Amino acid sequence: METQNVSDMIEQYLKNILQEHQHIEIRRAEIAQQFDVVPSQINYVIKTRFTIQNGYLVESKRGGGGYIRIAKVRLLEDNQVLDLLIAAIGTTVSQHDAIAVVQSLFEDKLISPREASLILSTIDKDTLRIHDTQTENAMRARILIGILNRLRFKS
């Protein structure tokens, strides 16, 4: 039997709740206690698995009545979300993060499987074949931002 790591279990737990609700508000300490982990483990999962690149907006409020709100967003329903995604990409983007963006576009049915495959082929490190990681990541960001800007006008 294959075992999941705790981060995967926490991610799946939160995603299961998000399937039934538009957004969720959690208390970091409560989730940590439920999974018998330290609260920083919850931070790690949220920071790495619930990013704008993956199609999530995260808002947090610290303090006694603090919470973390996670919302699944459809990337092109609101140009502001698209602007946030472009800002998150910035001037450079790793192949890992770029794949997450394409996956979100595909999951939100904004691109077809064929379009996703073509985009992934275009941004792949073997296709770009630039032997300078910084330049490669900059080129990948420009390609992705160009695609995202073109999707603004998708009918």
Strand partners, 70: 24, 58
Residue 9 CA to residue 105 CA, distance in Å, equals 24
Amino acid occupying residue 90 = G
Domain ranges of the chain: 6-72, 79-151
For domain 6-72, which architecture applies?
Answer: 2-Layer Sandwich (3.30)
Render pLDDT for 40-99 as a digit per residue (tens, 0 to 9): 899 899 999 998 878 788 888 776 667 899 988 766 666 777 788 888 899 999 999 999
Q: Class for domain 79-151, per CATH?
A: mainly alpha
Residue 127 CA to residue 125 CA, distance in Å, equals 5
Residue 154, token pair as written in the block: 């998708």
Looking up tokens 């399937």 gives 19
pLDDT score for 94: 94
Q: What is the pTM of this model?
A: 0.63
pLDDT score for 53: 76
Residue 119 CA to residue 46 CA, distance in Å, equals 26
